[in-house]
Amino acid sequence: MKRKTWSIAVLSAVLLTLSACSNSGTENADTGSGKETVELRFAWWGSEDRHTATLEAIKIFEEKNPGIKILPEYSGFDGYESKLQAQVAGNSAPDLFQSTGDINNRLGVDAMLPLDGVLDTKGMNETTMESVAMDGKTVGAYIGLAADAYLYDKTLLDSLGVEPPKPPYTWDDLAAKFKEVSEKSGGKVYGAVDSSVAFDVFKIFGVTALDAPEPFPNDTKSYTFTEDQIKAYYQYWADLRAANAVAPPDLSATSDDSANSLIVKGKAAFVPIASSSFSRFQSQTKNTLDMVMMPQSASTGRTVLPGTSQVLSISATTKHPEEAAKFLNFFVHDTDAAKVLKTTRGVLPTEEQREALLSTADLSEGDKKNIDLIQAINKLEGVAISFPPSGPQILNWKGSIEKVGQEIAFGKISVDEGAKKLMNEVNAVFGGK
């Protein structure tokens, strides 16, 4: 994978503290020794585990940088964005804040300090970095990674004498595995859940099976897919249903990420997941599970790279950009921070942090598998799908792909009719390209 080195240090930190405890500014404080301590506010949302880990990382940073104090502002996600928007509008934003691509879109590019020449991107994936940029500017560092993967029941496959797919493999290879499971089980177990209604799988299929562009550029109006691509996606799953290789629509509709999953119930050998959810599935079955990266393009080998749902940015109004950048780079590069942050925001962003975490004795098997998967995918050429824009366009589109997919699966309309219907609905939602 081609790498780009920017300049100084690295990405980092999302920290924790009740926003109710926040300072309205970042004025310097006298330490009593005649030296002033720079105070930086840092806002993030998350779980108690994330809060605890982030506070521990902050403590490590302050010990290594005695002239800088981090004032944490943390909470749950509810109300986080509306408060941040109000702070940005009132020129009282935290010096550093955790966000997402769509939150940054709504805040506007001018709300964040450009990090080109400031953020050290060594050990980070250049393509993934580009996916969180705005207007060609680096406005944040991704601070956690997750990948889409196919989860499979290794115990079941071993009992049937079916070898799991081994990268590099294609969507046709995957279909062959689904059929093999069904045939060798005598039809008692389906190869997989029918994902014809799955928005996330549609995006990956288009990029890797059809060599299509990224389906949604990082805005609220554009899309790149065509009616022929929609048809190809629906036809792929229709063919598998006809071969009894995937679960029928009524059964697939009951499968979710909990104990209702068909893989947990032993009714399907494969299901698509976010790699970070591996441990949750494994905890619900005595069978040994494993996961494999998603299929690659048959012609180019291209894949979909790990994505991130969280970004750490520096406010454009900070009075201390140098110190804020120092903390940001610490957060994404420091190996001591890595050992306390662990996977509370997903897989760590840089190679050096991931390697440091892999060396620890208390890392769970699920976390190890997740990190290994991310490391393997990052070595490939691929596309990092941007944060899909939020709002009614995407919500309506997600609803449409599910509705039309179900109509096809239940035999109410043909694949051709469904592709045309979905394309018409997309054009109506987006108002054309």
For position 199, what pLDDT does the model report? 84
Task: At 195, give phi and psi (nearest 5°).
Answer: -100, 25
Instruction: From residue 372, give the alpha-carbon distance in Å to each of 334, 354, 429.
Output: 20, 9, 39
Q: Is the pLDDT of residue 39 over 80?
A: yes
Is residue 313 within 8 Å of 103, Cβ to Cβ?
Answer: no
Question: Which part of the chain has CATH 3.40.190.10?
Answer: 19-144+308-375, 148-304+391-430
For position 140, what pLDDT does the model report? 96
Report residue 15's pLDDT band, with 50, 70 and 90 as the boundaries: very low
Per-residue pLDDT tens digits for 45-94: 999 999 999 999 999 999 999 999 999 999 999 999 999 999 999 999 99
For position 224, what pLDDT does the model report? 80
Q: Is the pLDDT of residue 218 over 80?
A: no
Q: What is the mean pLDDT of the chain?
A: 88
Q: Which of 398, 51, 2, 351 is nearest to 216 (CA)?
A: 398
Interstrand relation of 148-153 and 68-75 (parallel, antiparallel or unpaired): unpaired
Report residue 221's pLDDT band, with 50, 70 and 90 as the boundaries: low
Q: Three-state SS for 175?
A: helix
For residues 225 and 70, which has the higher predicted lDDT (pLDDT)? 70
Report residue 398's pLDDT band, with 50, 70 and 90 as the boundaries: confident
Report residue 219's pLDDT band, with 50, 70 and 90 as the boundaries: low
For position 183, what pLDDT does the model report? 99
Q: Three-state SS for 322?
A: helix
**pTM of the entire predicted model:** 0.83
Please give the biggest Cα pair distance in the chain: 80
Report residue 22's pLDDT band, with 50, 70 and 90 as the boundaries: very low
CATH of 148-304+391-430, one of 3.90.1170.50, 3.30.470.20, 3.30.390.50, 3.40.190.10: 3.40.190.10
Tokens of 339: 């050992």
For position 12, what pLDDT does the model report? 35
For position 220, what pLDDT does the model report? 57
For position 7, what pLDDT does the model report? 33
Per-residue pLDDT tens digits for 88-134: 999 999 999 999 988 898 899 999 999 999 999 999 999 899 888 89
CATH superfamily of 19-144+308-375: Periplasmic binding protein-like II (3.40.190.10)
Q: Which of 27-36, 237-246, 249-258 has the highest mean pLDDT?
A: 237-246
